[in-house]
Copies of this chain bind each other. A is one copy, B any other.
Amino acid sequence: RYGQAEEEDQVGTATGLAYTSAGGDTLAIEVSIYPGKGKLTLTGKLGDVMKESAQAAFSYIRSRAEELKIDVDFVEKNDIHIHVPEGATPKDGPSAGITMATALVSALTGRPVRKEVGMTGEITLRGRVLPIGGLKEKSLSAHRAGLRKIIIPADNEKDLEDIPESVRTDLEYVPVKHLDEVLEHALMGDNHESK
């Protein structure tokens, strides 16, 4: 059922955590790649901040293509589409930054995303992970969805004390400072060769 952890490890899909006035929710970030001219398409009723966040994630990846074992020519000869279902629900904010980056790297390298992992954190153009809001509500929704491991910005560690004991002990929290750490925890196996 939608709003649950993925049933299988997936290539090109990562699970984010959203926070609105109505509470927390999980967010599937989907990435699709097909022959094109390097265009980036963003859909899912995304606000400007979330769109800019996707652009930052994509630029970071392009500028670090070699280290990430991504073929630069591949990026220039394909179009990339990032979509966030459910299409009628407005979404915004920078906190899906590392989730979009993870889904992109997964799609571009073929490495599956571990299905039990959720994540939240703003990404910068150098891959730094910045703090986010609503960690408590996001944790509750991650717990409800059956996720096991939650990647969070190191600067949010101080907020863990506000999360109910029962939830905090069920979830494994992984505080990170850089996208490199996110990818290490979220992606399976080593780098396959770039598609």
Chain A positions near chain B (C-beta within 8 angstroms): 1-2, 10, 12-13, 28, 30-36, 38, 41, 43-45, 48-49, 52-53, 55-56, 59-60, 62-63, 65, 72, 76, 79, 81, 83, 85-88, 93-94, 97, 122, 124-126, 128, 130-131, 155
For the complex, give the distance between the alpha carbons of A97 and B87 in Å: 10
Q: A56-B83, A56-B87, A59-B79 given; name 13 further pairs at CB < 8 Å.
A: A1-B155, A2-B128, A2-B130, A28-B124, A35-B62, A43-B52, A45-B49, A52-B87, A59-B81, A59-B83, A85-B130, A86-B130, A87-B122
Copies of the polypeptide in the assembly: 6
Of B2, B10, B34, B49, the residue contacting A155 (CB under 8 A) is B2
Closest residue to A52 on the B side, CB-wise?
Answer: B43
A81 lies within 8 A of B65 (CB): no
B88 lies within 8 A of A49 (CB): yes
CB distance from A57 to the nearest CB of B (A): 10
B125 lies within 8 A of A81 (CB): yes
Residues on the B chain within 8 Å of A87, using CB? 49, 52-53, 56, 94, 97, 122
Residues on the B chain within 8 Å of A155, using CB? 1-2
CB distance from A76 to the nearest CB of B (A): 7
Residues on the B chain within 8 Å of A33, using CB? 63
Residues on the B chain within 8 Å of A124, using CB? 28, 30, 83, 85
Residues on the B chain within 8 Å of A93, using CB? 88
Residues on the B chain within 8 Å of A31, using CB? 125
Residues on the B chain within 8 Å of A28, using CB? 124
Closest residue to A56 on the B side, CB-wise?
Answer: B83
For the complex, give the distance between the alpha carbons of A94 and B65 in Å: 33
Of B43, B72, B125, the residue contacting A32 (CB under 8 A) is B125
